[in-house]
Amino acid sequence: MKELEKTYSPNEIEDRLYEKWLEKKYFHAEVDRSKKPFTIVMPPPNVTGQLHMGHALDNTMQDILIRYKRMQGYNALWQPGTDHASIATEVKVIEQLKKEGIDKHDLGREGFLKRAWEWKEEYGNRIVKQLRKMGSSADWDRERFTMDEGCSQAVNEVFVRLYNKGYIYKGSRIVNWCPVCNTSISDAEVEHVEQSGHFWHIRYPYADGTGYVIVATTRPETLLGDAAVAVNPEDERYQDLVGKMLKLPLTDREIPVIADAYVDKEFGTGCVKITPAHDPNDFEVGRRHNLPEINIMNDDATINELGGKYAGMERYAARKQMVKDLEEQGLLEKVEDHVHNVGTHDRCKTTVEPMVKQQWFVRMEEMAKPAIEAVKSGELKLVPERMEKTYMNWLENIRDWCISRQLWWGHRIPAYYCTECGEMVVSKEAPAVCPKCGCTHFHQDEDTLDTWFSSALWPFSTLGWPEETEDYKYFYPTDVLVTGYDIIFFWVIRMVFSGLEQTGKLPFHTVIFHGLIRDSQGRKMSKSLGNGIDPLEIISQYGADALRLTLITGNAPGNDMRFYMERVEASRNFANKVWNASRFIMMNLERAEIPAEQDLKELTAADHWILSKVNTLAKDVTENMDKYEMGIAVQKVYDFIWEEFCDWYIEMVKPRLYDESDNTKSAALWTLKTVLIQSLKLLHPFMPFITEEIFCNLQNEEETIMLSSWPEYRKEWNFEEEENSIQTIKEAVRAIRNLRSGMNVPPSRKSKVIVVSESETIRGIFENGRAFFGTLAYAGEVAVQEDKSGIAEDAVSCVIPGAVIYIPFADLVDIEKEIARLEAEEKRLTGELARVNGMLGNQRFISKAPAAKIEEEKAKLAKYTDMMAQVQERLAALKK
């Protein structure tokens, strides 16, 4: 047994232990049909990413589960990897090129991709190294990348399958367009941000010049693409207008008035401009009424040639000029301030422009059905259950998914066009001959796939699918997915319908959603607020174990939590407590021989109690872990170690350890070691480093706690009677300590403690526990008796169930000194009362002093009078 260092220093053990774990390949899993598999896939962080608190929580939760299952004997695989992050990576590479004075188009596609791969090799593994600092026990030997050869093969396979089935098509539909990144983005990547704007009320004149209707809009520049004005068919105000033509302001076009139930007749004027090429709802209305789709914007959000005099102007400059022109022409009715949610790209924060574009889409209606049924049937469990409503709402209102992106970094769409006749061929590899004209020259589609297309295949593409590999057949379906509730649409649902469609199986049976980590004021951590906390700095200062414990303590699935530095310090204090207690136990173990097997009958009541407690703890924690209640589980382990084991049991056995003649000493040492090992095992998934260091120094039988067996409930360790006995003694100790604290009696002042009970059982409890009860109760002497005989009248008492505890007053207080102190206090109060009574009896003071001052003095009189009564009562009792 190696002695622990005097001071717990995480910086000195964590990196060393992690290297040992990697070297010994403890995290690695191979197919083993004799064991049951348990698989988790890591949500792949972006290669552009840097560890933040969300990553820290997400990976801590996964690591806790995988370590727990590994100790339970499962063949546990935590499959790691990173995501190529199309937009984010392309932005990073472009920024790097700009610093060198290079435009990406100067390099060409191949040159740019070469630089992108170089960037990925240099910076892409940064977050993986940071995850290792957290103690993440992922199988790094299996690390995957969404653009590696195997994952890319899976992407092409799925694209071709879905295309051949009619689920993927190319067509013109409304998409979210980012004018800065110059690409389409999915609905899930649009962040709606509250902005202050205006409602411009514009007059649309009748074509015959007999009047006008008023239309309100927040985007007046889009009127250049209006195809109609819509009213509700049940709106009596406008029924006569339906079918009439209006003159579109600032243009030479005329547009019709149409009737559509989409219009809310109670909102605004009841007239809505319909711009099919620039609004998703208008697009649907336009398709219903066969309206033209007039795109009036270029890709950089400048007005195109269809914008007349405004062509070439930036969208907001055009807005400003158009509003001015409308006002000059008498067509601007009024302007109202308006706060509304504006769609912005979650990456670059640019306001998104809805546009009709020729893009690739996935039909979602059919694939959504089995994903809905999986939750309805209970086959897929969402934790917490309330996430089902969000899941269902999204799937039941799903739109076709735009999967093409106008980027170079990513999976290029496997569609090829004949250079002669333009025939399109969708194929996993470039075709040799055109099936239409026989030409042998093709060019590939320029677009790449949405990043989420490849990550939707992550649970099975990482295991070798579409090949029927042994890994895929053994480890798939995976078991649990852990992720933030903020990406339920981005990723979780897409994995569910992709898994069902491609493999016929759900990719996992349970999804655990965790909340966001907020700052101490409850605000979301962000760069703009400057309130982000770097997990690596926390680790450097307090250790990974302290950070992990802080993140999981009090954490409940789906709930946000606030991050306080005081809690990190408390977690570090707990680590110190565990370290110091372990060191104390190990120092005592070195000085004595203890049996490998202990006859439980030779243990004392205190030994039985703590053994029974840790036994129940193992059962409770296992039940919590199986229900994914990790926050509850760790709190139980924390409370047991700190209170029951350290504060109670270790203090109970100290007299036995220090008494060489005590024949129960070896039993105490066996119990200390046994309970410590059980406690370390239960704590290990949450705090892997400190538990490994102590465990490996405490015993020589096993080389790592990670592969040791998880504690299981044992019938022979159930000592209910002793648990009740020790509980009685603990209640007595607490009552005595509270009594002494109330009288300001220091622990160093010993007293006689008399336990009086008519119950023979309770008297037996105190007789048997006399040694440690006396120590814990600061007793110089312990007496146990059936009645009050021989107890002085001035003895103070406290009551517990079935007994009364008495302590001679003189043992607690030096009576002569206390009388002197009380007489001095009586003299002081006499003076204070005289002063207050004098002021309140002075009519001059009463007539001139503010009312508040008078009330203050009256309050003092009441307080001093009460204090005097108490002092005189205690003096009278003492002088008897």
Does residue 524 contact residue 516 with C-beta atoms inside 8 Å?
yes
Q: Residue-wise over 156-177: b if at least 16 C-beta within 10 A, else e?
A: bbbbbebbeeebbebeebbbbb
Q: What is the largest CA-CA distance in the chain?
A: 122
Report the C-alpha gap between 13 and 543 in whole angstroms.
10
Residue pair 4/10 in contact by the 8 Å Cβ criterion: no
Q: Are strands 254-259 and 245-247 parallel, antiparallel or unpaired?
A: antiparallel
Radius of gyration over alpha carbons of the chain, in Å?
38
Q: How far is CA 717 from the centre of its chain?
A: 37
Please state whether the peptide bond connecting residue 466 to the residue before it is cis, i.e. omega within 30 degrees of 0. yes
List of E strands, 124-188: 144-145, 168-178, 183-185
Host H or E run for residue 555: none
Contact 53, 533 (CB under 8 A): yes
Among candidate residues 277, 282, 245, 241, the one with its CA nearest the CA of residue 262: 282
| β 168-178/353-362 pair status | antiparallel
Is the Cα dihedral 314, 315, 318, 319 positive or negative? Answer: negative
65 near 480, Cβ under 8 Å?
yes
Report yes or no: 473 and 432 within 8 Å, Cβ to Cβ. Answer: no
Q: Say how far apart CA 766 and CA 553 lie, in whole Å.
A: 37
| CA 624/CA 399 separation, integer angstroms | 39
**Strand pairing partners for 202?**
215, 332
> β-strands 228-231, 254-259: how paired?
parallel
CA dihedral 454, 458, 464, 468 (to 10 degrees): -100
> Annotation-wise, does 527 bind a ligand?
yes
- Pairing outcome for strands 183-185 and 424-426: unpaired
Q: Give the list of residues 6+ apart from residue 403 with CB closer than 8 angstroms, or none.
A: 168, 359, 360, 361, 362, 449, 450, 453
CA distances to 16, 375, 596, 597, 676 from 670, rounded to whole Å, are 30, 50, 8, 9, 10
Binding positions for ATP: 527
Binding positions: 527
